[in-house]
Amino acid sequence: MNANAAVSEPMSQLEIRKGADAALAVGGLRFVACRREVDVVDGGITLYVNSALPGDDRELLRFDLFRNRPHYHAPAENAQETGIPSSTEGGVREWVIDQLSRRAGELVEEAGFHALRAQLDPAAIAAAPPALRRLLDGLAEPTEISYFPIPTAKLEALKR
């Protein structure tokens, strides 16, 4: 065998089931939520936090309010996860709503969007928890299915 030949890793397909998006714009941010099921591994609600400022629709943060491994990404495209404490009073959903209503500006800065913070309306965001709860309560069950290639060993490790 040639020592320079690449060894191909066995691959599998990761199934993602997703529900329709629902959105809420408040205080310079646009919250987009949907239900997602990640194969048999995990699932729950995903809440995307985008800029809603004129001419700016960047995705800033992503919160995965999953049953087994709740976490968030700052910035949204960051593969590194920051765990969300699942034992908090009121649960993961209430923790996320509380953090966003009290610390949206800090979280936006954590994601690297420092200049955006000054353009947000903290009072409007602080008043958003009831609307955020309604948004999350009204989400549709997953109907769209897509598949992503993943190394078989990684998929098996996720299932454990």
Query: Per-residue pLDDT tens for 85-135?
Result: 877 777 999 999 999 999 999 999 999 999 999 999 999 999 999 999 999
Centre a 10 Å sphere on the Cβ of residue 85 and count the other Cβ atoms it contains: 10
Task: Answer yes or no: is 93 within a domain.
Answer: yes
Task: Answer yes or no: is 1 within a domain.
Answer: no
For the chain, the straight-line distance linking the first and the last C-alpha, in angstroms and rounded, comes to: 34
Task: Answer yes or no: is 42 within a domain.
Answer: yes
Regarding predicted confidence, which is higher, 138 or 154? 138
- Residue 3, pLDDT > 90, answer no
Task: Answer yes or no: is 5 within a domain.
Answer: no
| DSSP reduced 3-state for 68 | coil
Task: Answer yes or no: is 90 within a domain.
Answer: yes
Q: Which whole-number Å values give the CA distances from 65 to 3, 62, 154, in the listed order?
A: 45, 10, 21
- pLDDT digit string (tens) for 19-72? 999 999 999 999 999 999 988 889 999 999 999 988 888 999 999 999 999 999
- pLDDT digit string (tens) for 48-60? 999 998 888 899 9
Find tokens 């591994």 and name the residue.
41
Task: Answer yes or no: is 94 within a domain.
Answer: yes
Across 27-153, where does the E strand assignment appear? 29-38, 42-51, 59-66, 71-73, 82-83, 144-151
- Residue 5, pLDDT > 60, answer no
Number of domains in the chain: 1
Contact criterion met (CB below 8 Å) for 136 and 19: no
pLDDT at 86: 77
pLDDT at 90: 78
pLDDT at 130: 98
Range of the domain at 130: 12-159
Least confident of 4-13, 125-134, 148-157: 4-13
pLDDT at 61: 97
Q: Which of 84, 101, 97 lies closest to 133 in space, CA to CA?
A: 97
Global pTM exceeds 0.85: yes
CA distance 81 to 42: 15
Regarding predicted confidence, which is higher, 40 or 16? 16
- With b for 16 or more beta-carbon neighbours within 10 A and e for fewer, the 48-75 pattern comes to bbbbbeeeeeebbbbbbbbeeebbbbbb
User: CA quadruple 88, 71, 46, 96: dihedral positive or negative?
Assistant: positive
